[in-house]
Amino acid sequence: MAYKMIAERDNAKYSFARESRLLIVAKAKVWASEGWRVVITDQDGKAYAPPEFDQLLAA
């Protein structure tokens, strides 16, 4: 998979992988808006925090 999202809150941790940059960013924005700590990692290992999600879409 090209993109991986990890969401953490309290004692819970979820991980999702998608090929689509658009889908992973959309999912990450929803989870972040619900109070989860979210990070997206691309195929090169670069991590993106919520303020950087739009940069990932522009790539």
Angle at 9 between CA 3 and CA 48, to 5 degrees: 30
The C-alpha atoms of residue 21 and residue 44 are separated, in whole angstroms, by 13
The C-alpha atoms of residue 26 and residue 10 are separated, in whole angstroms, by 22
- pTM for this model (two decimals): 0.90
**What's the pLDDT score for residue 59?**
67
**What's the pLDDT score for residue 4?**
96
What are 1-59's pLDDT values in tens digits? 689 999 999 999 999 999 999 999 999 999 999 999 999 999 999 999 999 999 888 86
